[in-house]
Chains A and B, each alone.
Chain A
Amino acid sequence: MLRVRDVWKTFNAGTPNEVRSLQGVNLDLDSGSFVIIIGTNGSGKSTLLNAVAGTWSVDAGKIELDGRDVTRWPEYKRAALLGRVFQNPFSGTAPNLSIAENVALAARRGMRRGLGWSRERKVMDQIRGAVRQLNMGLENRLDNAIGSLSGGQRQALTLMMATWVQPKLLLLDEHTAALDPKSADKVIRLSEEIISRDKLTSLMVTHSMHQAVHLGDRLIMMHRGKVIHDYRGAEKRRLSPEDLLARFEDLRRADQLDESAAEMLRRTYV
């Protein structure tokens, strides 16, 4: 479904703020798989998701989605194949538009938008039904501006909107990190439900060891712009939070070794 081949991305190249975010990432996703990405801060997890979504163009490498080479496609064109939920719960919805208008916009993702009435009756009925299933009491507030809702409610709606038109790939970028624990739990359960119901191919970045261990059928660990571990099948099912923490500890030690070695060299030669 998704093929990422040797993708490189450097931000602010040639300046003191240069960040080598992706350094030759390779990734293949089977159709219907639910893959978790974890990694330290700055390891390139979110950058990888943005590379797939086309937020900017990559420096080198190739990205294929659903058998098509999308490397040169602009973000809005790739959107026809992708559902996205962002870390910031305010990023996925237009605050001054009503709940109904937001969902109606999502109902035409990847389709032509003409002079048809955006709130036609058929769509509105579907929207009301789907919003009722969220069990948040929002079905009677469809005409309220979405900006008046809480972060958790907006994130649940964003998730619903991202999967309204079934995406070839669902990208979840730490989509519960900015929520309170109760909302986060609700959004995670909703994500699981939708993904298994529609058998969506999904890529989810998370900081939560709990989520990383309990969700998905495959887990990828990134470090310094590369994929360094890839757990699947039984191996993934056996993983415990302690195992993952141990891997992170290994990384930290390796980094420290690098730094002290560098320090020693500096003292000797400078």
Chain B
Amino acid sequence: MSLLIGAFTVGLILSLLALGVFISFRIFAFPDITAEGSITLGAAVAATLLVNGTSPPLATLAGAAAGALAGTATGLIHTRFNVNGLLSGILVMTSLYSINLHVMGKSNVPLLSGDNLTTEAEAAGRRVLGADSLNLWGWDVGTRDFSVLILSALAIAAVAALLYVFFRTNIGTAMRATGDNDQMIRALGVNHGNMIVFGLAVSNGLVALSGALLAQYQGFADVQMGIGMLVWGLASVIIGEALVGTRQLGFALTGAVMGSVLFRLLVAIALRWGVNPNDLKLITAIFVFAALILPGMLEKMKRQRIPGKGGQPAGA
């Protein structure tokens, strides 16, 4: 049960990563690999501040803000200097590796003593429940696990709702249109370069927030923790799209969160079955590859089955 709750919690925390990846990949169609550096940056900044005695909420927000700066850097390199999008992300991600080491001063910062959001959530849970553990449908659940899970769920719901509202405002709608049709949005008087910079800042801010929370949940920040995160986020987005579809903005956002949680559960089950943890990234990459090519292949097979009805899909 503890394992299940743990997978759920990590899934919720990483759903912020999925939401960030959703913005860069799906809204802007921008393969933004900065995420791998900014998730670590968020963790590094938050952990370092916590060790130095900053209040947990402030340290977490500072981590998110640092990620937003990283996203801004990628956006500026791409739009102001016309560097290819993928390459802009790689440049920032690579420099972030050094920056993260500088921020932390070493390759790993443990958060064993002192306050952080996890201990605060635990304390709050204790105040409400007044016990070390509680009985949930016959399962014995630790107060710490339970309160962290509930509070992460609330926090993620709040962030997702905020994003939903934002994307329905004038500027948020313009941002979605920028990724959809940049010619149109310029003709309607929007500086589309600035929109991309802003969008990547929001995206990486979310990713870094995810990193800051993850560090506090797992009890350390590590300079290697970002490796493979982009593909994990993408896998979550793809699972979410399969679950609820993309017809509406609300579905897409909920899908990303659900996808992230489901993906974590799948990982937990796979590990339980005895899958070698070293193979996880390979399996995830293969999964994402399959998810990317399968729709196209199915389409092709369908077309071959109906002779004479082939040709270009509408709107090509």
Contacts and interface: CB of A to CB of B under 8 A. Distances in A.
Interface of A: 53, 74-77, 79-80, 82, 84, 86, 90-97, 101-102, 104-106, 108-111, 113-119, 145, 147, 161-162
A114 B170 contact: yes
B171 interface: yes
Interface stretch (B133-141, B144-152, B179-187, B237-245): B179-187
Given A76-B190, A92-B187, A147-B315, A113 B180 contact: no
B156 interface: no
Nearest to B177: A94
Interface of B: 166, 168-174, 176-177, 180-181, 183-192, 247, 315
Nearest to A150: B314
Given A76-B190, A110-B189, A113-B190, A95 B181 contact: yes
Given A91-B181, A97-B177, A97-B180, A77 B171 contact: no
B186 A76 contact: yes
Given A91-B183, A92-B184, 18 more contacts: A76-B190, A76-B191, A79-B186, A82-B187, A94-B180, A97-B177, A105-B173, A105-B174, A105-B177, A105-B185, A105-B188, A108-B189, A113-B170, A114-B170, A115-B169, A117-B170, A118-B169, A118-B170
Contacts of B173: 97, 101, 104-105, 118
B177 to A, nearest CB: 4
Main secondary structure of the interface of B (DSSP, over half): helix
A91 B315 CA distance: 11
The 9 tightest CB contacts between A and B, nearest first, are: A79-B189, A94-B180, A94-B177, A113-B170, A118-B173, A94-B181, A110-B189, A113-B171, A115-B169
A177 B9 CA distance: 56
A109 B169 contact: no
10 contacts: A76-B189, A77-B189, A79-B188, A90-B181, A90-B315, A94-B185, A95-B181, A97-B173, A104-B173, A118-B169
Nearest to A116: B170
A117 B168 CA distance: 6
Contacts, number: 88
A84 B170 contact: no
Given A75-B186, A79-B187, A94 B169 contact: no
Contacts of A84: 187
Q: Is the interface of A mostly helix, strand, loop or mixed?
A: loop
B76 to A, nearest CB: 16
A80 B188 CA distance: 7
A74 B194 CA distance: 13
A114 B171 contact: yes
B169 A117 contact: yes
Contact of A106 (B188, B191, B315): B188
Contacts of B192: 76
A153 B118 CA distance: 54
A183 to B, nearest CB: 15
Contacts of A161: 188
A206 to B, nearest CB: 20
A80 B180 contact: no
Nearest to B174: A113
A118 B183 CA distance: 20
A83 to B, nearest CB: 8
B248 to A, nearest CB: 9
Nearest to B188: A109
Contacts of A53: 187
Contact of B180 (A74, A96, A116): A96
A145 B249 CA distance: 11
Contacts of A102: 177
A75 to B, nearest CB: 5
